[in-house]
Amino acid sequence: MAIIDGKALAAKMQADLAKKTAKLKEESGVVPGLVVILIGEDAASQVYVRNKERSALAAGFNSQVIRLPEATSQDQLLKLIEQYNQDPAWHGILVQLPLPEHIDEEKVLFAISPDKDVDGFHPTNMGKFWSGHPVMIPSTPAGIMEMFKEYKVDLTGKNALVIGRSNIVGKPMAQLLLDAHATVTIAHSRTKNLAALAHRADVLVVAIGRGNFVTKDFVKPGAVVIDVGMNRDENGKLIGDVAFDEVAPVASLITPVPGGVGPMTITMLMEQTYEAALRNT
């Protein structure tokens, strides 16, 4: 068993990104700009936004975080997004989820210009992705593919199972695995005989949102296990969707929580902001 160190890989990639950013600024005068909009006081969102801001500044980006009260109206938010859509100094716009209940999440995400949608959630970018011409890709699946590359995981012909079917992780993850010539199955909380199905997988990506859901009974000996989960146990400790201590001895490679997928998600967000700036030079 070996642990996939997402934190170390992210640090390496972000150091390379800082060099690319400095070169871009020197050659063209362009500095990638990322604006993050946060509404309300959700504790987890506050942590995520701080991490994104820290990473953007470390990469040499222009970074702005706009913190708005919970009572901010949908119209106010949409007007703010349009303001940044029209401002050429900003190459990436990110609205931190979840949003308050009175705001239509879909309407907000669709309001972001596809050219600045560094999360990759706009239907235009989703359409390009699914048709084989990706521009912006959801950051978590993109980061997982970088992990496979770094740890020399050959996906060709492998049986891959993705547990979770969200538009943010599960579905795009399945497409990227398919593009890498894996044979892919998508499962979810209502899949029958899920443990038996998972036990046949050479590569297991778990994004179901249930703490310690995947136990050793789910895992084929020697499988590669990627844990996307971010949950809290009864003591408030951060845990994944995979019961790490019992699965790790069975797997050939496994991601920890924290320190696995999370840092790579932020790194790929920064990479896509840089690429958006590059396209505008």
Q: Is it the case that residue 249 has pLDDT exceeding 90?
A: yes
Distance of alpha carbon 278 from alpha carbon 281, whole angstroms: 5
Catalytic amino acids? 52, 96, 119
**With 90 as the cut, is the pLDDT of residue 111 above it?**
yes
Q: Rounded to whole angstroms, how far apart are CA atoms 63 and 34?
A: 5
Instruction: Round the average pLDDT of the chain to a whole number and report it.
Output: 96
Q: Which residue has the tokens 């990479």?
A: 271
Per-residue model confidence (pLDDT) at position 41:
85
259 annotated to bind ligand? no
Tell me, yes or no, whether 156 lies in a domain.
yes
Does 273 reside within a domain? no
With cut-offs at 50, 70 and 90, classify the pLDDT of residue 46: confident
CA distance 239 to 257: 6
Higher per-residue pLDDT: 232 or 155: 155
Helix, strand and coil in the chain, % to nearest 5: 45, 15, 40
pLDDT band at 280 (very low <50, low <70, confident <90, very high): confident
Note whether 144 and 205 are same-domain residues: yes
Q: Which residues pair with 163 in a beta bridge?
A: 187, 206
- pLDDT of residue 177 exceeding 90: yes
Strand partners, 243: none
- Residue 175 located in a structural domain: yes
Boundary (domain end) residue, out of 79, 114, 149: 114
Are residue 86 and residue 199 in the same domain, yes or no?
no
Domain assignment of residue 125, yes or no? no
Q: Is there a single domain that holds both residue 195 and residue 160? A: yes
How many independent structural domains does the chain possess?
Answer: 2
Average the pLDDT over 233-239 and give the result. 90
pTM over 0.75: yes
82 shares a domain with 148: no
Range 122-151 average pLDDT: 95
Pairing of the two strands 2-3 and 33-39:
unpaired
Q: How confident is the model at residue 276 (pLDDT cuts 50, 70, 90)?
A: very high
Is position 167 within any domain?
A: yes
Q: Are residues 82 and 168 in the same domain?
A: no
- pLDDT over 90 at 1, yes or no: no
132 is in an annotated binding site: no
Q: Sign (positive/negative) of CA torsion 243, 244, 245, 247? A: positive
Determine the pLDDT at residue 102: 95
Is residue 126 one of the residues assigned to a domain? no
**CA-to-CA dists, residue 137 to 118, 185, 235, angstroms:** 8, 20, 35
Contact between 45 and 96 (Cβ < 8 Å):
yes
* CATH number assigned to the domain comprising residue 46: 3.40.50.10860
- How far apart are alpha carbons 162 and 25 in whole angstroms? 40
For residue 99, give its domain range: 28-114
Alpha helices in the chain (DSSP H): 6-28, 43-58, 74-85, 105-111, 123-130, 139-150, 170-179, 194-198, 244-247, 261-279
Beta bridge partners of 66: 37
Tell me: is residue 166 an annotated ligand-binding position. Answer: yes
